[in-house]
Amino acid sequence: MKTEADPVFAGNELRGRKFLKLTDLSKHELGYLLELAGELKQKHKSGMHEESLKGKTLGMLFEKPSTRTRVSFETGIFQLGGAGIFLNSDNLQLGRGETMADTAKVLSGYVDGMMIRTFSHNVLEEFAENAEIPVINGLTDMYHPCQVLADLQTILEEKGRLKGVKLAYIGDGNNMSHSLMTGAAMTGMDISIAAPDDYLPYTSVVQEALTSAGQTGGRVEVTSDPQEAAKQADVIYTDVWASMGQEGEQGNRKQVFSDFQVDAKLWSLANNDAIFMHCLPAHRGEEVTADVIDGKQSVVFQQAENRMHVQKALMTALMG
């Protein structure tokens, strides 16, 4: 599986690096990771596992609950011959006041890499600044780059290309919209983000994506009209209306986002061979109707599986 950003190097340049957001990669490095993920997936399906991280350990710090992130990372490093250690603030001295900087320095002496899933992106950056090992963003309120690596791999598998593919994201201008916009711009995709006026993505992220798209030939659009975004889309993507930590806003958000549901009417505006994507977990009857997410053009579980394959590629490149 070749990408438009075919690698011009063997991947050694990524060893020891930190991955906090997609722009920590060049477009060639991004293409390399997607190609490696495809190779690792093919080997996995044929029953072959490369133990490229034999004897290595990944620390996994969770300040937010998880299904996909924990299982995909823990299973992935096991398949690569290594081991994963689950950690959270309650069973670390972080819970008793030890600083994030001290924690990073201590753990750097024990493990070969860290994955962190937390609320504030500043917390992740503080850890990374004080760590002497690769650090991977498993999710913050600002970005979700591992998910978008899996999304790009899924689109490649389904469409055979990234450049020129139109992705319509319908919903909250959150961490998913930020990372999708960045990934689309880096790979020459066209992306249209449709969100209510008070829930648009950060202007700084939009401007960064516009600059990147200008270099790759992609297009970035932000609108408050979901119908306009969905027209002739090759991919329609949505996310929950209230993310973790926003439960108190659930009632208000249901009202604000009521016109942003991906239903059969909105779906009909996309191309006939469009695919539906969602990072999961999903709330059927809210951001998406059951007939769309459970329909034959939905690839949400393929996306979820691909989390493991892209993360195996990422760990191999950073920790190998």
279 catalytic? Reply is yes
Q: Which of 68, 112, 146, 147 is catalytic?
A: 147
Give yes or no for residue 4 having a pLDDT over 70. no
Give yes or no for residue 148 having a pLDDT over 50. yes
Identity of the amino acid at 165: V
Q: Which of 68, 121, 144, 219 is catalytic?
A: 144
Residues 283 and 202 in one domain: yes
The answer to whether position 195 is within a domain reads yes
Instruction: Please count the other Cβ atoms lying within 10 Å of the Cβ belonging to residue 286.
Output: 19
Q: Which of 153, 234, 239, 261 is catalytic?
A: 239
The answer to whether position 284 is within a domain reads yes
The pLDDT tens digits of the residues spanning 94-108 come to 767 889 999 999 999
Q: Which of 190, 234, 253, 279 is catalytic?
A: 279
Give yes or no for residue 314 having a pLDDT over 70. yes
pTM above 0.85, yes or no: yes
Dist. CA 60–CA 69, nearest whole Å: 10
Q: Which of 190, 307, 309, 311 is catalytic?
A: 307
In contact, 174 and 238? CB cutoff 8 Å: no
pLDDT at 308: 98
Domain encompassing residue 199: 147-303
Residue 64 burial (CB < 10 Å; 0-12/13-18/19+)?
middle
259 catalytic? Reply is no
Give yes or no for residue 117 having a pLDDT over 70. yes
198 catalytic? Reply is no
Q: What angle do CA 33, 175, 78 make, to 5 degrees?
A: 45
Give yes or no for residue 5 having a pLDDT over 70. no
Residues 113 and 176 in one domain: no
147 catalytic? Reply is yes
In contact, 317 and 36? CB cutoff 8 Å: yes
Q: Which of 68, 79, 112, 117 is catalytic?
A: 117
The answer to whether position 154 is within a domain reads yes
The answer to whether position 3 is within a domain reads no
CATH at residue 201 = 3.40.50.1370
The pLDDT tens digits of the residues spanning 188-247 come to 999 999 999 999 999 999 999 999 999 999 999 999 999 999 999 999 999 999 887 777
pLDDT at 94: 78
